[in-house]
Amino acid sequence: MEKKIYILAGGPPENVPDLAPYAEDKRAAWAGVDRGVLHLLKQGIIPEMAFGDFDSVNQEEWDWINRKLEHIRKFQPEKDETDMELALMWAISQDPDVIRIFGATGGRLDHAFTNVLLLVHEKALQFKGKIEMIDRQNLVEMFLPGTYTIEKMDAYPYVSFLPLTEEVEGIFLTGFKYPLENRHIVRGTTLCVSNELIRDFGTFSFSSGILMMVRSHD
């Protein structure tokens, strides 16, 4: 049976997708990060783990969290890692097949960029399962060199590939509206932005670098 861990961070609730379909997945364990714990409880989801300094909740909310949860890892605000990093490293250590992160984008740009860049943390890149960062409009994944097949998703029709390293070499795109054959792209260029799948499945591959895939809708 596939093992999944879903993490809700404390980003703006209006940027979080409807969690009800994910909550129905009985194979998934939930973790909350700081104010994300509160949002989970308000939706009737009891996380197995909670992480944070909880400086974003008031005393009444903190008391409620304490009553509802058994496993809380509370940290001092002054620390080297962000609450989200601590939660992600815990999730990776549980060796699931899939990690999905919600509530990690929107609001402050420094928080959003930091959370996205956690997907290229050494431990995240070495992780053998899948890590997805999802909000109401986007789904983000990171890839190391190789060949990958992706399925067309009506919810996210647009597919963009962005180089996270200085250069990504040997890109092939098959089954896309704008195919590519053995192209090199450098960081800061827009060649692979806003493509679309024209078949039920498409294939992409590349030979070096780190590639971020963003699947989006308008």
Last residue of a domain, one of 106, 121, 136: 136
9 lies in the same domain as 38 = yes
129 lies in the same domain as 150 = no
Q: What is the pLDDT of residue 1?
A: 77
pLDDT over 80 at 77, yes or no: no
Q: What is the pLDDT of residue 48?
A: 94
Q: What percent of the chain has pLDDT over 70?
A: 100
117 lies in the same domain as 10 = yes
168 lies in the same domain as 68 = no
Reading the block at residue 62, the tokens are: 């903190």
Q: What is the chain's mean pLDDT, rounded? A: 94
153 lies in the same domain as 203 = yes
106 lies in the same domain as 163 = no
Reading the block at residue 35, the tokens are: 């104010």
58 lies in the same domain as 164 = no
- Cα–Cα dist 65/71, whole Å: 10
Q: Are 213 and 180 a contacting pair, CB within 8 Å?
A: no
Q: Output the domain CATH number for residue 115.
A: 3.40.50.10240
Last residue of a domain, one of 136, 165, 189: 136
Q: Regarding beta strands 49-52 and 28-33, do their DSSP bridges make them parallel or antiparallel, or are they unpaired?
A: parallel
pLDDT in tens, 145-164: 999 999 999 999 999 999 99
Question: Rounded mean pLDDT of 212-218?
Answer: 96
What long-range pairs does 113-118 form, CB within 8 A, spacing at least 24?
114/82, 114/84, 115/9, 115/82, 115/84, 116/140, 116/212, 118/84, 118/85, 118/88
pLDDT over 90 at 38, yes or no: yes
Q: Are 116 and 133 a contacting pair, CB within 8 Å?
A: yes
165 lies in the same domain as 182 = yes
Gyration radius of the chain over CA positions: 18
Q: Which residues of 78-105 are buried (b: 16+ CB within 10 A; e: fewer)?
A: eeeebbbbbbbeebbeeebebbbbbbbb
- Cα–Cα dist 173/200, whole Å: 14
Q: What is the pLDDT of residue 4?
A: 97
53 lies in the same domain as 122 = yes
pLDDT over 80 at 37, yes or no: yes
Residue 29 CB-density burial (10 A; 0-12 exposed, 13-18 middle, 19+ buried): middle
Question: Rounded mean pLDDT of 121-144?
Answer: 97
Whole-prediction pTM: 0.94
151 lies in the same domain as 211 = yes
Q: What is the pLDDT of residue 162?
A: 97
Last residue of a domain, one of 136, 159, 189: 136
177 lies in the same domain as 196 = yes
**Which residues, listed in sequence order, are joined to residue 216 by a DSSP beta bridge?**
138, 158
pLDDT over 80 at 78, yes or no: no
12 lies in the same domain as 108 = yes
Please count the structural domains in the chain.
2
**Residue 109 structural domain:** 4-136
